A and B are shown apart, each in its own frame.
Chain A
Amino acid sequence: MTDTRTGRVRRARATVAAALAQAWHIARGVAGEHAYEIYLEHHARTHPGVPPMGEREFWRRHVDRGDTEPGSRCC
């Protein structure tokens, strides 16, 4: 195999890998898995220096918000 050819294969592989990574990122977003990361980012920005909630604690509160705020679902 020539150098240019291996280079092309490597580039194609990298493109496919990047596309898959992006698809996974979007799927996680749609499922709502980013919530903790969003919280951490927000917390670091608004309360620098204060330790954030642990992951388990965060998810518990996150889901329990649904008890007081109805989400809307359609027909």
Chain B
Amino acid sequence: MSSTNRTVEREAAPPPRWTPARIAVWAAVAVVGAAAWGVVALSRGEEISAAWLIFAALASYAIGYRFYARFISYRVLRVDDTRATPAERINNGTDFHPTDRRVLYGHHFAAIAGAGPLVGPVLAAQMGYLPGTLWIIIGVIFAGAVQDMVVLFFSMRRNGRSLGQMAREEIGPVGGVAALVAVLAIMIILLAVLAMVVVNALADSPWGSFSLIMTIPIALFMGCYLRYLRPGRVIETSLIGVVLLLAAIVAGGWVAADPFWSEVFLFTHNELTIGLVVYGFVASVLPVWLLLAPRDYLSTFMKVGVVALLAVSIIVSMPVLRLPAFTDFAFNGEGPVFAGALFPFVFITIACGALSGFHALISSGTTPKLIEKESQVRMIGYGSMLTESFVAVMALITACVIDPGVYFAMNMPAGALGDSVTSAAAAVNQLGFTVSPETLQSTADSIEESSVLARTGGAPTFALGAAQIFSSLFGGQAMMAFWYHFAVMFEALFILTTVDAGTRVGRFMLQDTLGNVYKPMRDITWKPGLYLTSALVVAGWGYFLWAGVNDPLGGINQLFPLFGIANQLLAAIALAVCTTLLIKSGRARYAWITLIPLVWDAVVTLTASYQKVFSTDPAIGFFAQRARYAEALAAGETSLGTAQTVEQMEKVVVNTTVDGVLSILFALLIIVVLADACRVWVKALRAGGSLPTSEEPYQRSTLWAPSGLIPTKEEREIAAARSGEGAAAS
């Protein structure tokens, strides 16, 4: 305590001096990075080791973090360590509290990284490994991590205001409303898409269904244990939970092998959909301590553990990438996983891991209220996002190490594959990838599943690749099935946590909005309001889930682009807020830092929306699709493409109408936000380059803490001096 009595002398850390050793280290990093990029980008025809992808990524991250992020924090944002952060000023013992930077980094990473970075890259792998790799690494350095850090900084300067509040205050009411609508829309689509991933992974899989269902009693047990037996012992409880979880996965194998129990836990797509909807509703109205909190601990534990395990396994086993750098689908837009060419669709398919607007909600939520020193935004905002990007690179690797023919058989819509391994192998061969029916069957046998066909949604593909990598190190072929179900369970566990938490967040937003019309709604403990709003949110994502699961054209194929567009729409709002703040605070000459990613994001999202709305290619344009099916129905036809009945054709017409209208809505929202932001920029520039913002006034800090992960020699000396002084004073 007493060591905090002295004020801080420095405003910003002086740039470290360039000693010969430092120059040598950074030159080596640059050389390794360049060599790795050379191999990744230029090899054609031969299979390369995943190690090159890892080296290219890590070297690029190091250079981006050391040079670009440092430039942004000291030159552009001008972080000031003599200024007290909200955590120091307000310090109320609960949500505002100066938190150790390493702890906060862990918190922030756990909050931003979920199933997203594991899904997008797997789907984008249909174009080869290179488009995804390039976008994940370049995108994170220049767009995603910049957005996260800059939003975190501006929110921190405003006592942790939310993105919506900043949009309203800095841009105007129109921007504020657009942000609110965008957040609610993305939440609904996100929950539907993620729930669909779970449905596709668990349908007809007694092993997977059993293990996932077991997580509910495990979480309930953990909740009661924490509540009544050992309050506050989170790590101990989580460890017990993880042991039970592993036991549930092992037991799943026995369930799948047993003729009776495997029938009990065999669910169809529609049964799982109903189960998830009911679960989503019940979970979101139960008290947090009973289900959500313990589940959250468990999934955070698993997340950190599996990410670390995967990183070590890839680096040790160095698997070979079997997918080529580019497939033809990158250019002809006829990919079976999602339609459309490389530009713009890779950039919306991979959101989490490269640029994810959703993160702006976390960076303007709990994290800015806990940060200890302004200069730590680099490590926490930029650093956490780099880590998520690395997770995305690893997910891409898992998709690329499996047999390309198996990859396509797993990720094509069921309608295109037919019912048997023979028809599926024929369909994959049509695409130009060879796979034998025997390979498809033996792959299914190796993971003890009845089939791997049309397991769309990314999770099963990730799980298969991860199982290959893990089992090459631990347990060999005998452990394949265990590792596969371990990975499926790991991803499904995340998603259930997101479904529960997301439904709650949506419910709170809805209660708040409806509270404007009918007062009691705003009282979040009022039960009828609670049930009504929860039901509305669940009905929202439940509709899209049901429609997607039963979509003859494949739900992931149809809905994933919408999710990507919604996420990038949120990123556009966040980047527009950042650019506005840079201009209003007199830093127009540095506004390109967020303006370039904003322009890129807007071009990508609007092009994608344009194609989804206006493309005359029925594989891409929702309305072209609609017209094709409507005309066929009018002409009295009873089947078209993958839709085998009139009923299915009518489904296509309804779904494409809804999806098309949503695409239009998202595009309009972006245009409105950008136009409104431009208005404010012009106003600020006309006013001589600055306008008042809602920044909190300066207050001098009395705290001291290192800036980066590892304290510098100078920082260690200051720390030692201060603690010595503190000991002397007390």
Please tell me if the beta carbons of B93 and A75 are within 8 angstroms of each other in the complex: no
B99 to chain A: closest CB distance in Å?
Answer: 7
The number of residue pairs between A and B whose CB atoms lie closer than 8 Å in the complex comes to: 117
With both beta carbons as reference points, the residue of chain B lying nearest to A33 in the complex is identified as B234
Chain B positions 88 through 101: 1 when the CB is less than 8 Å from some CB of chain A, otherwise 0: 00011110010110
Q: A3 within 8 Å of B by Cβ? A: no
Please tell me if the beta carbons of A74 and B114 are within 8 angstroms of each other in the complex: yes
Please tell me if the beta carbons of A71 and B92 are within 8 angstroms of each other in the complex: no
With known contacts A64-B289, A68-B525, A74–B234 Cβ distance under 8 A: no
A44 and B289 alpha carbons, distance in the complex (Å): 27
A66 and B10 alpha carbons, distance in the complex (Å): 38
Q: Which of B381-427 contact A (CB under 8 A)?
A: none
A5 and B331 alpha carbons, distance in the complex (Å): 66
Q: A27 within 8 Å of B by Cβ? A: yes
Chain B positions 522 through 539: 1 when the CB is less than 8 Å from some CB of chain A, otherwise 0: 001100000000000000
User: How many chain-B residues does the 8 Å CB contact rule pick out?
Assistant: 55
Chain B positions 493 through 508: 1 when the CB is less than 8 Å from some CB of chain A, otherwise 0: 0000110011011001
Please tell me if the beta carbons of B114 and A73 are within 8 angstroms of each other in the complex: yes
Q: B16 within 8 Å of A by Cβ? A: no
A30 and B359 alpha carbons, distance in the complex (Å): 19
Q: Which of A25-75 contact B (CB under 8 A)?
A: 25-36, 38-39, 41-43, 46, 55-56, 58-60, 63-68, 70-75
Chain B positions 281 through 310: 1 when the CB is less than 8 Å from some CB of chain A, otherwise 0: 000000111001100110010000000000
B-side contacts of A60, CB under 8 Å:
227, 231, 289
With both beta carbons as reference points, the residue of chain A lying nearest to B500 in the complex is identified as A73
A33 and B374 alpha carbons, distance in the complex (Å): 25
With both beta carbons as reference points, the residue of chain B lying nearest to A68 in the complex is identified as B524
A64 and B527 alpha carbons, distance in the complex (Å): 16
Please tell me if the beta carbons of A72 and B103 are within 8 angstroms of each other in the complex: no
Please tell me if the beta carbons of B288 and A75 are within 8 angstroms of each other in the complex: no
A39 and B91 alpha carbons, distance in the complex (Å): 11
A42 and B95 alpha carbons, distance in the complex (Å): 12
Interface segment out of the listed B104-112, B164-172, B541-549: B104-112
- The DSSP consensus for interface residues of chain B is helix
Please tell me if the beta carbons of B103 and A30 are within 8 angstroms of each other in the complex: yes
Which of A55, A59, A67 is in CB contact (< 8 Å) with B287? Answer: A67
Please tell me if the beta carbons of A72 and B111 are within 8 angstroms of each other in the complex: yes
B219 to chain A: closest CB distance in Å?
Answer: 13
A-side contacts of B102, CB under 8 Å:
26, 29
Interface of A toward B, CB cutoff 8 Å: 25-36, 38-39, 41-43, 46, 55-56, 58-60, 63-68, 70-75
Interface of B toward A, CB cutoff 8 Å: 91-94, 97, 99-100, 102-103, 106-107, 110-116, 190, 194, 226-227, 231-235, 238, 287-289, 292-293, 296-297, 300, 351-352, 356, 358-359, 361-362, 365-366, 497-498, 501-502, 504-505, 508, 524-525, 567
Q: List 26 A-B contacts (CB under 8 A).
A: A28-B235, A29-B99, A31-B234, A31-B235, A33-B233, A35-B232, A42-B91, A42-B97, A43-B93, A60-B227, A60-B289, A63-B226, A63-B227, A64-B288, A66-B288, A66-B293, A67-B525, A68-B524, A71-B296, A72-B111, A72-B366, A73-B114, A74-B352, A75-B116, A75-B356, A75-B358
Beyond A31-B234, A72-B362, 6 additional contacts (C-beta under 8 Å) are A30-B107, A30-B300, A33-B233, A65-B94, A66-B292, A67-B287
